[in-house]
Each structure stands twice: as C-alpha cells, then as structure tokens.
C-alpha cells in the first residue's frame, strides 16, 4: 500500500513539473525508477515513457485551453519527431543491454539543458530578458521545424524521456517563441512521440505495468495542475526551475556512473 501511495505521489509531482515546465516529467520519474525502485535502465526507460505520455496528454489539453498551442504551425515538428521516434525505438533493443550508455546519455542531455536554461533565467531576473516572439503561433521555417522535430525524436525513442529537453530550448532560442507558448507546444508535440515510443517499448517487453499504472494516474492529475500554475509564474523563474532540476538529475546519472 505504501509503495502504491509513493508511486502516485511521484506521478503527481512529475505531472505538475511537466505541466509547469513543458517536459514529460521523466526528470522526476526516471531517477525514482532507477535509484529508488532499482529497475534496469531499459525497463525504467520503457516504464517512464508510458507514464510520461499521460503527463503530455493532460498538460497539452490544459495548455490548449489556455491558448498556448497552435496545432497547425506545429505540424512539421510533430511529423518529423514521430518518424525519428519510431526509428530510434527500433534501435532501442540494441542499447537496452548497455545500461551505462543510457545513463550517460541521459546525464549529458540534462547537463547541457540545465546550463542553457539557468543562464537565460538569470539574465531575465537581472533585467536582460531575451527578445521573444509574440502571438500563439510557432514561427520559423519548415527546415527549422523539421530539424527540431528530428532532434527531439531521439530522446523518447532511445532514452525513454521527454522531448522537453530539446523542444523548450529550441522553441525559445531558435524560433524565439514566448516561454509559455514553447512549454505548451513542447507538451503537445511530445504527446505524439510518447505514444509512438510507448507502443514500441511495450511490444519489446520493456514496460513494468505494475509500476506504470499508479504513475499514470498521478501524472494525469498533476499535469493539469501544473499547466494552470504555469500561467502565474514569470518566464525567468520557469527557466531557473527547469535548469536547477535538470542539473540535479544530471549529477545523479553521471556521478557515479552505474
């Protein structure tokens, strides 16, 4: 019973963080699955991506209602990301027996993103805000959007985590989208990638259903709460939160390596 409550709480926290920051919540769930429940890296990745799908589902709906998502302008990102996710999901069984590689990849991704986002957040708090676009559409060329989608598809397909690590920075730094538009759009794009990755990893036998079900319930509720909280926070604070959490998770995966 206590284990069930713990999983529900972890899912709730992951969902809230996902709704606030535009990530899938894997930055909370993956350390729990690896370092608390001690699941093998490949099973942790498969279990995490299924639970994360429900974060993106709940968060996307709430952000859409808040006017942060324009599906038509995101179509190239979604299509390219889905194709990349499927391609790297097919390669996942090869890497499943190389747990250290998966942990190192996760740690490097989190470290890179944490530095970029914390730097931008500090600039914002100091009054040196990044010049961002306006409106609710994701601007940018077709080539830029396809490139971002392809890069984002690597993470859910190969590592079992959300594309927020790629999409939120890419939307803000490359396409100059307002942070709330970037967060909502990230969740919306990742919902498709997470679904594709979940189906692959379930069919490959890398999903622990007993662990996944309570996590999914928690993330579904938490993501809606997080999306509502997002509207009340400054973008600089959001970026600092994003970076601080990623820096912590990066250290867990890379020091020491398993």
Is the Cβ–Cβ distance between 17 and 23 less than 8 Å? yes
Token pair recorded at residue 6: 């713990």
Neighbours of 87 (CB within 10 A): 14
Q: Give the model confidence (pLDDT) of 119-154 as tens digits.
A: 877 877 776 554 455 555 678 899 999 999 998 888
Using CA atoms, how far apart are residues 114 and 110, in angstroms rounded to an integer?
A: 6
Q: C-alpha angle 141/145/151, rounded to 5°?
A: 145
Q: Give the model confidence (pLDDT) of 173-212 as tens digits.
A: 788 888 778 888 988 998 888 899 899 999 999 999 888 8
Using CA atoms, how far apart are residues 223 and 233, in angstroms rounded to an integer?
A: 16
The answer, yes or no, to whether residue 230 has pLDDT greater than 70, is no
Q: Give the model confidence (pLDDT) of 49-98 as tens digits.
A: 888 888 788 778 878 888 888 889 999 999 999 999 999 888 888 776 66
Residue for token digits 């538009």? 181
Q: Return mean pLDDT, the chain.
A: 79
The answer, yes or no, to whether residue 258 has pLDDT greater than 50, is no
Residue for token digits 């963080």? 17
């Amino acid at each position: 019973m206590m284990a069930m409550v713990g999983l529900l709480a972890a899912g709730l926290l992951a969902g809230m963080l996902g709704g606030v920051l535009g990530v899938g919540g894997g930055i909370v769930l993956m350390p729990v699955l690896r370092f608390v429940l001690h699941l093998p890296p490949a099973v942790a990745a498969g279990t995490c991506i299924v639970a994360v799908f429900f974060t993106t589902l709940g968060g996307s709906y709430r952000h859409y209602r808040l006017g942060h998502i324009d599906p038509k302008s995101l179509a190239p990102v979604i299509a390219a990301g889905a194709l990349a996710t499927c391609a790297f999901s097919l390669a996942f069984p090869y890497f499943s027996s190389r747990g250290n590689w998966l942990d190192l990849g996760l740690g490097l991704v989190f470290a890179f993103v944490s530095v970029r986002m914390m730097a931008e957040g500090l600039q914002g708090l100091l009054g040196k805000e990044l010049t961002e676009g306006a409106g609710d559409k994701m601007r940018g060329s077709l080539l830029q959007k396809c490139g971002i989608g392809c890069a984002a598809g690597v993470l859910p397909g190969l590592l079992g985590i959300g594309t927020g690590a790629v999409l939120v920075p890419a939307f803000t730094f490359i396409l100059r989208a307002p942070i709330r538009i970037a967060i909502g759009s990230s969740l919306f794009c990742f919902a498709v990638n997470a679904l594709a990755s979940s189906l692959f990893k379930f069919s490959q036998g890398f999903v622990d259903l007993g662990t996944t079900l309570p996590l999914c319930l928690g993330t579904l509720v938490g993501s809606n709460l997080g999306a509502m909280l997002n509207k009340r926070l400054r973008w600089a604070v959001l970026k600092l939160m994003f970076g601080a959490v990623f820096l912590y998770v990066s250290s867990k995966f890379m020091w020491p390596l398993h």
